[in-house]
Amino acid sequence: MPLVIRHVDRQGYVREGFFEFVLCDTGTTGHALAEKLTNKVTEFGLALSKLRGQSYDGAGNMAGRLTVLGYVHGHTTALQKTSKDICNAYQEVKTVTETLHRVREDIDIYHGQWYRLAESMAEKTNRQNTPAATPEEYFKRTIAIPVVDDVCNQMRDRFSNMQQLAVKGLYLIPSTFLEDPARSRDSVYKFAEEYREDLPDPSLLGLQAELDLWEVHWRSRPVTEVLLDTASATLVCTMGNIFPNIQSLLALVCTIPFSAVECERSVSCLRRLKTNLRSTMSATRLTALALLHTHYNLEIDINAVIGRFQRKHPRRMVAVDFMS
């Protein structure tokens, strides 16, 4: 299980990177995985009390010819783009959920279309022993209804009220904030209420004054200047002495993970690292190779590496100066 940690450094830059592959030797149940993650985070010297968000890799890139998946594919793509696209995508989550429930209510109509498509694609299928009067009724009970129910359940779990509340912090981004200041203010107030304890000045009047200054600050920019459209770029340009609450809220927005893209990248590198010739390597070595693969752009002092290895294993390596 790959562990990716996201945080904001002292200069205001967002850092997100792969840390380690965690060996799931105690099982893959929710309790076992939670215990493993808790122990690993504690080993890194991080306080769980400062944890503000969690994200787990699901089936985000699942899209195929089955019509029901088309309802969520566009939103899956939008959630991996800029903050403005994320705001719009989350606004449409309710619409997608209501549409899926409507599909479930009119399953006879939709299933008829899907069934005729399936008939044209396959002639024979291994059937389960589910009672049905006709083949169409059989596939409706065994495939169409379970698939639609499962997508509805996953939409409800994936886009919970807490996740939609966290997205409201993205309305602080200038390009989104100035489109509809009234709606943006309302969204920011709701976001700030949830994280009131993390604000330097948790009073409503203090935040209101900052938002007034925030709007004037960005509206007074030259027309030719392109407004910032990402939370990370906005955080770097925010003056903490003038906008302390907004700076804290932007740091929270940048810390909360909205997708599991970085986690997916770390899993994708396994295909190149753990081949048939290296299928028995330990978790420690696999993590080390994955870190080298992930941070390939960092400069490494080879002499420092050799010196550390020599000090750690003096009997396995004898340093010889061939120039003497």
Bigger pLDDT: 64 or 123? Answer: 123
Per-residue pLDDT at 215: 93
Q: What is the mean pLDDT of residues 203-222?
A: 90
pLDDT of 85 over the 80 cut: no
**Confidence band for 253, pLDDT divided at 50, 70 and 90:** confident
**Confidence band for 26, pLDDT divided at 50, 70 and 90:** confident
Q: What is the mean pLDDT of residues 313-321?
A: 62
pLDDT of 72 over the 90 cut: no
What amino acid is encoded at 37 in this protein? L
The pLDDT > 90 percentage for the chain reads 10
Give the residue from 60, 57, 66 showing the smallest Cα distance to 146: 66
**Confidence band for 77, pLDDT divided at 50, 70 and 90:** low
Bigger pLDDT: 133 or 183? Answer: 183
Per-residue pLDDT at 301: 87
Q: What is the mean pLDDT of residues 138-161?
A: 74
Per-residue pLDDT at 138: 79
pTM given for the model: 0.58
Q: What is the mean pLDDT of residues 209-230?
A: 88
Q: Distance between CA 231 and CA 252 in Å, rounded?
A: 10
Report the run of H or E that residue 180 belongs to, with start and end.
none
Give the residue from 71, 7, 56 showing the smallest Cα distance to 252: 7
Q: What is the mean pLDDT of residues 230-251?
A: 89
**Confidence band for 78, pLDDT divided at 50, 70 and 90:** low
pLDDT of 4 over the 90 cut: no
Q: Please, what is the end-to-end C-alpha distance for the chain in angstroms? A: 48
Per-residue pLDDT at 312: 82
Least confident of 150-154, 161-165, 200-204: 161-165
Give the count of beta carbons closer than 10 Å to the beta carbon of residue 312: 9
The DSSP call for residue 128 is: P
What amino acid is encoded at 179 in this protein? E
Per-residue pLDDT at 62: 33
Q: Distance between CA 218 and CA 168 in Å, rounded?
A: 19
Per-residue pLDDT at 44: 84
pLDDT of 194 over the 50 cut: yes
Q: What is the mean pLDDT of residues 80-103?
A: 65
Give the count of beta carbons closer than 10 Å to the beta carbon of residue 220: 7
Report the run of H or E that residue 226 belongs to, with start and end.
none
Per-residue pLDDT at 76: 53
Question: What are the tens digits of pLDDT across the range 257-313?
Answer: 665 555 666 667 777 777 777 667 777 888 888 888 777 778 888 888 888 888 887
Q: Distance between CA 95 and CA 215 in Å, rounded?
A: 30
Per-residue pLDDT at 60: 40
**Count of CA atoms in the C-beta half-sphere (13 A) of 145:** 9
Mean pLDDT over the full length of the chain? 76
